[in-house]
A and B are shown apart, each in its own frame.
Chain A
């Protein structure tokens, strides 16, 4: 009898798991012994790190989009619908059309969503670059912003934790090259006591900010925005003014997770940090932004997690124990200007060590922006 693996979510993690699994057991998939089903609402796959370049006018949206069907290997059964309910008792997933799909193993790769309404006043008063629509709106705002103060605020939790820094460094570089830096004040704020969660990154930018004349405030968690007065108010009791507000909105988990009561109040799925199993469910894994793990919500995280999940799925499909463990590995590029970048890697036991930015790493980052489509197909 065929065994069915259902993957919910067709972002980076879900697509990688589907393709890697088909690659790992091609004969079982071809013969129908194992079915690999991918459920996702988006017919277009979007490379989200591209939003940064779009917002800064350095790239066009078309370069970061591909049809999802072009990304899938033969053998992946594609269900282009939103999952609406997951029933672990019946081992089934309901999709928008009302159809129900049963599973033997389930992988939740349902991602996270920036909540533009989490901070009252932000939708009216602020800009962001965490959705395609928002990054285009910010691009227009930046092009007409010729003097005043740009205030950057950061909500908790958020994905791609280095993107706010990249945004400021790249924008600063562009302003300097165009002779406009003197007219624009840049101010960065951060929720905790230092400038970045990663201490070595914090130390690095602690040196860089004075050189770039970027002001900063820490312990800064914005609770409300007054879009008329152009003032933000924090839960620590501070306030600050702005002329252009750029914010990373707090993120929440997927609606289907909340509707299925599989997550906490914000929709994050309780997940074992080593096995990536959903706590309390032997036949269910969770990866990427969707988990409640204290890890960076980033494509790199889900990339490495997908390797672990697929190896364990193969074990389990063959009646073996899932013995492969995730070590918390994450790798990130950090753009430090328009033609300089550095990179970091770390895991549960090894902190990152950023090196000085170079043009070579910047070019590798641009190359990775294209290589992403190969990684999605499970090639590396």
Chain B
């Protein structure tokens, strides 16, 4: 996964509202098809919620990288 370059990165660490999931939806909506978005999240729920939404919305989850106290979640916009 480390060889995948994100075109946009959202630092949503410490964001309780709107939170990482909502920030991802915002950026996906304003991105071009094919762009890869990285979300930095310290919210444990993101590990479950983001992949669920990505599957439901038919985008692609490239991967989840666990770093120092937070996750880096990579999502590709498919349509």
Contacts and interface: CB of A to CB of B under 8 A. Distances in A.
B56 A157 contact: no
27 contacts: A156-B26, A156-B29, A157-B18, A161-B17, A161-B18, A192-B19, A192-B22, A192-B25, A194-B45, A197-B16, A197-B18, A198-B16, A198-B17, A198-B19, A219-B56, A235-B57, A236-B53, A236-B56, A236-B57, A237-B58, A266-B26, A266-B30, A294-B12, A294-B18, A295-B15, A349-B14, A352-B16
A346 interface: yes
Most buried by B among A191, A192, A196, A265: A192
Nearest to A347: B14
B25 A197 contact: no
B66 interface: no
B23 interface: yes
Interface of B: 10-23, 25-26, 29-30, 45, 48-49, 52-53, 56-58
A265 B35 CA distance: 14
A197 B19 contact: yes
Contacts of A26: none
A157 B21 contact: no
Nearest to B39: A294
Contacts of B12: 294
Contacts of B22: 156-157, 191-192, 197
Given A193-B49, A236-B56, A294-B10, A265 B30 contact: yes
Contact of A156 (B10, B25, B52, B56): B25
